[in-house]
């Protein structure tokens, strides 16, 4: 059994992750597992003042610090449990029959790698607790996850609404063809109108791709865009056509690969007006 894996941490984007995970699970008739990862960061003291106090005071201070750290860890565990219970109740209220929760210690990327065999789709927020005060910031876990995950990753911002249409970015590469095949075969986007968009000059491959999607039962509008900046052209198209969801193959050997493995990854995630589904 494979799950839609919703990664939650109690930040402002948690509700959006929950809603997106529920929507995905309902579309694919799959169970959901909500995951909360506990990552402990220990920041060293800027200065060592231990020589300025007596031996007994130092020991008392160390004991106090150990106790405070223990209390902090317990609070993090309880906070995570509260978050998991809340999203589970929300998912059940939305009609899901099977909703599991899991709390693990360790880095999110490592935990997801361990759970890969049980994962069908990963849903993650664009910003976690560490970055939610910065509107255009991208969580460090998101970039790491995009680079390392072998499963599809759905990245959502603070608001998520059920998509009414989607845009598939296509460039004619093997990676893009694989993404197109995944879209055609999966129930996730079935019956949603598709905007098939290419930034470039290869209209012939665009027509072929459109035919494959039409044959799979999709209603497709194909558009050939111009421009040297791929991410900018895609974001502009999103805005002008009220696109609800952007879909793209990750790590292709093309101009699209250039912005996924370089600084344009962050740029697209920051500027995108819609959730972003990355297919591997």
Among residues 124, 156, 188, which one ends one of the domains?
A: 156
Instruction: Dig out the tokens for 253 from the structure.
Output: 């050997």
DSSP state of 52: G
Same domain for 217 and 123, yes or no, is no
Same domain for 270 and 223, yes or no, is yes
Q: Rounded to two decimals, what is the model's pTM?
A: 0.84
pLDDT at 98 over 80: yes
pLDDT cut 70: percent of the chain above it: 82
Average pLDDT, the chain: 84
* pLDDT tens per residue, range 16-75: 999 999 999 999 999 999 999 987 554 444 445 445 555 667 777 787 777 787 778 788
Same domain for 11 and 88, yes or no, is yes
Same domain for 214 and 254, yes or no, is yes
Same domain for 201 and 112, yes or no, is no
Q: Which of 71-80, 233-242, 263-272 has the lowest mean pLDDT?
A: 263-272
Alpha-carbon span 94 to 65, nearest angstrom: 43
Q: What is the pLDDT of residue 131?
A: 44
Among residues 156, 188, 215, which one ends one of the domains?
A: 156
34: containing domain = 3-41+75-156
Same domain for 138 and 250, yes or no, is no
Q: What is the pLDDT of residue 139?
A: 62
Q: What is the pLDDT of residue 44?
A: 43
CATH number at residue 206: 3.40.50.620
Flag whether 62 is in a domain: no
Same domain for 95 and 202, yes or no, is no
pLDDT at 255 over 70: no
Among residues 104, 124, 156, which one ends one of the domains?
A: 156
How many domains does the chain divide into?
Answer: 2
- Roughly what angle, to the nearest 10 degrees, separates helices 203-215 and 174-185? 20
Shortest CA distance to 62 belongs to which of 78, 49, 77? 49
Q: What is the pLDDT of residue 53?
A: 56
Confidence of residue 266 (pLDDT cuts 50, 70, 90): low
Flag whether 48 is in a domain: no
Same domain for 129 and 171, yes or no, is no
Flag whether 56 is in a domain: no
**If you average pLDDT over residues 198-218, what whole number do you get?**
90
Contacts of 9 (CB under 8 A, 6+ apart): 36, 37, 80, 83, 125, 128, 129
Same domain for 100 and 133, yes or no, is yes
């Amino acid at each position: 059994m494979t799950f839609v894996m919703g990664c939650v941490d109690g930040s402002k984007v948690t509700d959006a992750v929950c809603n997106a995970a529920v929507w995905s699970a309902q579309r694919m008739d799959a169970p959901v597992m909500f995951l909360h990862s506990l990552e402990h960061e220990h920041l060293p003291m800027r200065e060592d003042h231990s020589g300025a106090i007596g031996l007994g005071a130092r020991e008392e201070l160390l004991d106090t610090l150990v106790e405070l750290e223990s209390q902090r860890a317990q609070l993090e565990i309880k906070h995570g449990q509260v978050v998991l219970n809340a999203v589970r109740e929300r998912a059940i209220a939305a009609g899901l029959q099977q909703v599991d929760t899991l709390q693990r210690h360790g880095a999110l990327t490592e935990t997801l790698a361990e759970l890969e065999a049980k994962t069908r789709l990963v849903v993650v927020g664009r910003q976690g607790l560490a970055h939610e005060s910065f509107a255009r910031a991208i969580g460090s876990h998101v970039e790491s996850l995009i680079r390392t995950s072998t499963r599809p990753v759905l990245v959502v911002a603070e608001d998520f609404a059920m998509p009414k249409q989607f845009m598939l970015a296509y460039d004619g590469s093997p990676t893009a063809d694989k993404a197109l095949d995944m879209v055609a075969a999966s129930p996730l986007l079935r019956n949603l109108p598709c905007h098939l968009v290419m930034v470039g000059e290869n209209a012939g491959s665009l027509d072929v791709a459109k035919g494959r999607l039409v044959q799979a039962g999709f209603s497709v509008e194909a558009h050939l865009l111009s421009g040297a900046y791929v991410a900018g052209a895609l974001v502009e198209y999103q805005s002008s056509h009220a696109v609800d969801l952007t879909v793209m193959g990750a790590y292709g050997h093309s101009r699209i690969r250039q912005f996924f493995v370089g600084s344009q990854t962050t740029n697209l995630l920051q500027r995108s007006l819609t959730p972003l589904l990355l297919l591997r």
